């Protein structure tokens, strides 16, 4: 067998194994055997670059190179569906269809409405050539490189299966519940904001500038709509198996399944209104057992000819409608309220309940947020409480069934002292949360601050993690963030030879962190209420730690995003002798306590006071580089256009919605050459 034949055969075999595993959920070989085949293909492709193919299975790992998304016009507009939330609206839709078809018999294809990110995939000669997000319905972002990493999306269709020469298939990019929960657990450990639901996570992932990251997050996809134009059969081993003009939606999707696409099993052709309503009622309960998030049912007239006859309104097709499920709610018993202390000292009450299934997971705990929420709900231990998840990651108690309450139940009283260290809790003006003020001796705060300090967006000491921090703390090796810089490999290994390599790696990583820039040091030291953006603004305003430490309340409040609560928190931090001792030791360890010469060089106030929106694709610099230039010249990057926007820095393919809003508000639009001249 020649190398070309072996490469082509390996690609074909790996594509089939991917299909078996990710679409059919029926793997036929072990992970080890799959990996061996993949490694062999990677080696062969590296030896023979003439055989490079963007649709090779080896390309599904993605790239760590930044990419800029260009906007692409949709060949067929991606319209939204009209929504309904009750049975009566469904009846009226059914009657409108019947009336519009003048009594002609029709079928309704009822299918699951998956809660993800809409995507349009184009295939030519059986190969994926382009993937575009919905965008504004007229044009969207080209995310082809990222979509290639999703293993349930075929890069190459099955030979001889009857696919057209060119067509478009639409569907939903999703993050399964298991992947979503693993991702949020990782983000929580890294002190990063949690994704609210799988849809947000899928959207944020697909818009990542690095396809390597997309590959790691294990997105999935379900396809639900075929579009194309009929062509005379001539170039295919098998006759084309779909009819885009007079075929039927359900039948076309069943053919697409044969080509290699993942098509939902939750589909049914309904001949009567009652069958439609029965389908809705069945899935209102059964959807809780699905591996991905859903938020409703889509009803479509099955005949494409009848769809064309019914036509469209300005915003949506007349032949389809979306029935949205109500947020999932369950009733269960409240057994106990416990309290968690975070790294900032914020005390969060948590409802501990009898287990109940919500949105695909078993829920036993729900956040009660703060004392005000507890009082509003009038909670008693033993109450039967209503819990909602509705796709959100953090369940919440939304009500109490007071008819089931018995007189002997005890009202929940918010605690007055810290459950960890016993300090009297405080509540700052304008804050809903209670705080433990003992931030230098309260164990969860100490460990939480160390975990924050080593996190990726702070000092980025990636050889350490929450478990390591807890181990060091319990062994008495560290009591604060400065203690990290006194550790040696022998202490960490604790006479265990198996830990020597990891101990040396940890010490080296800690030493390397002394080169982290000043802006991130300000964020890392953990001043209450000072987040990543505020830390950057403070660092650039005061330029060194000494100036920040000596700043008055008025001087602090001159900084953007710093109000009185934040300013007072900064002053409290620098008036604490223990914090000052930690800072002294950090400085002695060699941390950056002032802006670097590189950061100071070229800083101006040419854009001071200006709020700037960036939109489009640029030729001379990336979007991130332009954001850095705006900040370096004293300007502020903002994400949305408002009457307070100073101007829009626009590249090619600026979104039509942004352009329309800018014109409506009279916001100036400038190109990159004008902008670069402005800042010289």
CATH number (domain holding residue 662): 3.40.50.10190
Give the pLDDT of residue 235: 46
Lowest mean pLDDT among 54-68, 106-120, 630-644: 54-68
- Extended beta strands in 176-293, E state: 220-227, 267-270
Last residue of a domain, one of 451, 481, 515: 515
Domain span at residue 315 reads: 83-324
Q: Determine contact, residues 293/172, Cβ cutoff 8 Å.
A: no
Averaged pLDDT, 516-538: 92
Position 65 confidence tier, pLDDT thresholds 50, 70, 90? very low
What pLDDT score does 159 carry? 84
Tell me, yes or no, whether 495 and 545 share the same domain: no
Structural domain includes residue 617 = yes
Predicted confidence at residue 628, as pLDDT, reads 79
235 and 92 in a single domain? The answer is yes
- In sequence order, the 6+-apart residues with CB closer than 8 A to the CB of 634 are 603, 604, 605, 606, 607, 608, 609, 610
pLDDT in tens, 94-106: 999 999 999 899 9
Task: State how far the Cα of 481 lies from the Cα of 494, in Å rounded to an integer.
Answer: 20
How many domains in the chain?
6
Residues 570, 506 within the same domain? no
Residue 77 lies in a domain: no
Contact 270, 108 (CB under 8 A): yes
Sequence-separated (6 or more) residues with CB below 8 Å from residue 534: 559, 561, 562, 566
Q: Does residue 542 lie within any of the structural domains?
A: yes
**539-557: average pLDDT:** 93
Has residue 72 been placed in a domain? no
Looking at the structure, tell me whether residues 619 and 671 fall in a common domain: yes
**Cβ-count burial 590-607 (b if 16+ within 10 Å, e if not):** ebbbbbeeebeeeeeeeb
Give the pLDDT confidence score for residue 626 in this predicted structure.
Answer: 85
Q: Is the pLDDT of residue 334 over 90?
A: yes
Residue 208's CATH number: 3.30.470.30
- Last-in-domain residue among 270, 293, 324: 324
Of 154, 169, 171, nearest in space to 221 by CA: 171
Structure tokens at 253: 């999707």
Specify whether 142 is located in the same domain as 234: yes
Q: Is the pLDDT of residue 571 over 50?
A: yes
In this prediction, residues 655-660 reach a mean pLDDT of 75
Based on the domain organization, do 590 and 649 belong to the same domain?
no
The last residue of a domain, from among 374, 406, 436: 436
Question: Are 523 and 381 within one domain?
Answer: no
User: Which ranges in 174-245 belong to alpha helices (H)?
Assistant: 177-189, 198-206, 211-216
Which residues are catalytically annotated? 113
Nearest to 179 by CA among 141, 119, 221: 221
The C-alpha angle with vertex 505 and arms to 504 and 507, in degrees rounded to 5, equals 65
pLDDT 10s digits, 362-415: 788 988 888 999 999 999 999 999 998 754 556 889 899 999 999 999 999 999
What's the average model confidence in pLDDT over 205-228? 87
pLDDT tens, residue by residue, 416-438: 999 999 999 999 877 788 999 99
Residues 339 and 425 grouped into a single domain:
yes
Does 386 fall in a domain? yes
- Alpha carbon of 182 to those of 153, 173, 188, 194, 628: distances in Å? 22, 18, 10, 11, 32
220: left (phi over 0), alpha (psi -120 to 50) or beta: beta
DSSP H stretches of helix in 591-646 = 597-600, 623-632
Instruction: Say what the pLDDT of residue 64 is.
Output: 43
CA–CA separation, 260 and 257 (whole Å)? 5
Contact 405, 385 (CB under 8 A): no
Tell me how far apart the alpha carbons of residues 152 and 218 are, in angstroms, rounded to a whole number.
Answer: 10
Domain identity same for 393 and 479? no
CA distance 537 to 625: 17
Q: Are residues 495 and 510 in the same domain?
A: yes
Q: Do the domain assignments include residue 313?
A: yes
Give me the pLDDT at residue 405, please: 92
* Mean pLDDT of the chain, nearest integer: 87
| Residue 281 predicted with pLDDT over 70 | yes
Q: How far apart are CA 202 and CA 596, in angstroms?
A: 37
Measure the CA–CA gap between 171 and 247, rounded to whole angstroms. Answer: 19
Give the position of tokens 């002695």. 588
How many whole angstroms separate alpha carbon 198 and alpha carbon 174?
7
pLDDT of residue 191: 54
Q: Can you give the CATH number for the domain in which 594 is found?
A: 1.10.150.20
Q: What is the C-alpha to C-alpha distance for residues 121 and 174, in angstroms, rounded to an integer? A: 15
The pTM (predicted TM-score) of the whole model is 0.53
- We report the CATH number of the domain holding residue 32 as 1.10.287.610
Ranges assigned E (strand) in 549-605: none
Are 304 and 243 in contact by the 8 Å Cβ rule? The answer is: yes
Same domain, 476 and 575: no
Q: Average the pLDDT over 597-601 and give the result.
A: 75
Q: Measure Cα distances from 352 to 333, 366, 384 in Å.
A: 9, 7, 12
* 3-state percent helix, strand, coil for the chain, nearest multiple of 5: 40, 20, 40
- Block residue for tokens 């509003």: 376
Q: Would you state the structure tokens that stand for residue 547, as one six-digit string?
A: 């100036």
Q: Is 225 part of any domain?
A: yes
SS3 assignment for 25-69? CCCCCCHHHHHHHHHHHHHHHHHCHHHCCCCCHHHHHCCCCCCCC
Report residue 610's pLDDT band, with 50, 70 and 90 as the boundaries. confident
Identify the band that residue 658 occupies on the pLDDT scale cut at 50, 70 and 90. Answer: confident
* Rounded Cα–Cα distance for residues 6 and 273 (Å): 54
In a domain, 453, yes or no: yes
**Mean of pLDDT values over 459-478:** 90
Confidence of residue 236 (pLDDT cuts 50, 70, 90): very low
Contact 332, 384 (CB under 8 A): yes
Same-domain check for residues 103 and 252:
yes
Contact 390, 359 (CB under 8 A): yes
In Å, how far are 166, 256, 265, 266, 491 from 226, measured between CA atoms? 11, 8, 16, 17, 63
The secondary element (H helix, E strand) that includes residue 10 is: helix 3-18
* pLDDT band (50, 70, 90) for residue 66: very low
Phi, psi of 540 (to 5 degrees): -75, -25
Question: What average pLDDT does this structure show over 232-258?
Answer: 80
Confidence tier at 27 by pLDDT (50, 70, 90) = confident
């Amino acid at each position: 067998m020649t190398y070309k034949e072996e490469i082509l055969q390996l690609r074909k075999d790996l594509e089939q194994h991917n299909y078996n595993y990710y679409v059919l959920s029926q793997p036929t070989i072990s992970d080890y055997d799959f990996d061996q085949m993949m490694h062999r293909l990677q080696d062969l492709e590296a030896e023979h670059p003439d055989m490079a193919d963007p649709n090779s299975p080896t390309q599904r790992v993605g790239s760590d190179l930044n990419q800029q998304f260009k906007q692409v016009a949709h060949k067929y507009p991606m319209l939204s569906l009209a929504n309904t939330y009750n049975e009566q609206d469904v009846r009226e839709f059914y009657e409108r269809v019947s009336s519009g078809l003048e009594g002609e018999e029709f079928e309704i294809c009822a299918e699951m409405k998956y809660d993800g990110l809409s995507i349009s995939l184009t295939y030519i000669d059986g190969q994926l050539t382009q993937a575009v997000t919905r965008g504004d319905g007229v044009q969207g972002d080209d995310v082809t490189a990222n979509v290639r990493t999703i293993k349930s999306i075929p890069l190459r269709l099955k030979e001889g299966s009857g696919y057209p020469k060119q067509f478009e298939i639409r569907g939903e990019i999703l993050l399964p519940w298991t992947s979503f929960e693993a991702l949020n657990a990782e983000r929580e450990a890294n002190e990063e904001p949690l994704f609210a639901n799988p849809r947000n996570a899928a959207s944020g992932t697909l818009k990542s500038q690095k396809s390597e990251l997309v590959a790691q997050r294990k997105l999935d996809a379900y396809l639900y709509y075929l579009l194309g134009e009929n062509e005379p059969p001539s170039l295919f081993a098998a006759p084309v198996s779909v009819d885009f003009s007079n075929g039927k939606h359900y039948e076309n999707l069943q053919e697409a399944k044969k080509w290699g696409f993942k098509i939902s099993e939750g589909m049914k052709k309904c001949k009567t209104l009652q069958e439609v309503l029965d389908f809705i009622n069945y899935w209102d309960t059964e959807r809780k057992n699905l591996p991905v998030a859903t938020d409703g049912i889509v009803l479509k007239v099955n005949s494409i000819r009848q769809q064309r006859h019914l036509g469209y309104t300005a915003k949506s097709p007349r032949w389809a409608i979306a029935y949205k499920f109500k947020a999932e709610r369950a009733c269960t018993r409240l057994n106990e309220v416990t309290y968690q202390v975070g790294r900032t000292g914020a005390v969060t009450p948590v409802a501990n309940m009898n287990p109940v299934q919500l949105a695909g997971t078993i829920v036993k705990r729900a956040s009660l947020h703060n004392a005000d929420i507890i009082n509003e709900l009038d909670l008693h231990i033993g109450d039967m409480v209503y819990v909602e998840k509705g796709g959100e990651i953090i369940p919440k108690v939304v009500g109490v069934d007071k008819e089931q309450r018995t007189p002997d139940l005890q009202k929940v009283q918010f605690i007055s002292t810290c459950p960890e260290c016993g300090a009297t809790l405080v509540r700052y003006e304008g804050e809903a949360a209670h705080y433990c003020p003992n931030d230098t001796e309260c164990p969860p705060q100490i460990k939480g601050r160390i975990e924050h300090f080593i996190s990726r967006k702070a000092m980025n000491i990636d050889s350490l993690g929450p478990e390591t921090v807890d181990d060091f703390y319990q062994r008495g090796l560290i009591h604060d963030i400065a203690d990290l810089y006194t550790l040696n490999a022998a202490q960490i290994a604790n006479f265990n030879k198996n830990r020597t390599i990891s101990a040396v790696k940890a010490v080296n990583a800690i030493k390397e962190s002394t080169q982290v820039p000043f802006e991130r040091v300000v964020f890392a030291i953990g001043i209450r209420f000072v987040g990543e953006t505020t830390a950057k603004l403070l660092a650039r305003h005061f330029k060194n730690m000494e100036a920040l430490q000596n700043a008055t309340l008025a001087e602090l409040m001159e900084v953007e995003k710093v109000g009185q609560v934040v300013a007072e928190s900064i002053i409290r931090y620098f008036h604490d002798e223990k914090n000052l001792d930690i800072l002294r030791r950090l400085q002695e360890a060699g941390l950056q306590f002032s802006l670097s010469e590189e950061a100071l060089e070229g800083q101006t106030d040419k854009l001071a006071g200006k709020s700037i929106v960036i939109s489009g694709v640029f030729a001379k610099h990336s979007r991130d580089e332009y954001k850095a230039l705006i900040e370096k010249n004293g300007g502020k990057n903002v994400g949305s256009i408002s009457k307070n926007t100073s101007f829009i820095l626009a590249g090619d393919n600026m979104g039509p919605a942004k352009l329309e809003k800018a014109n409506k508000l009279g916001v100036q639009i400038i190109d990159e050459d004008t902008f670069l001249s402005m800042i010289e």
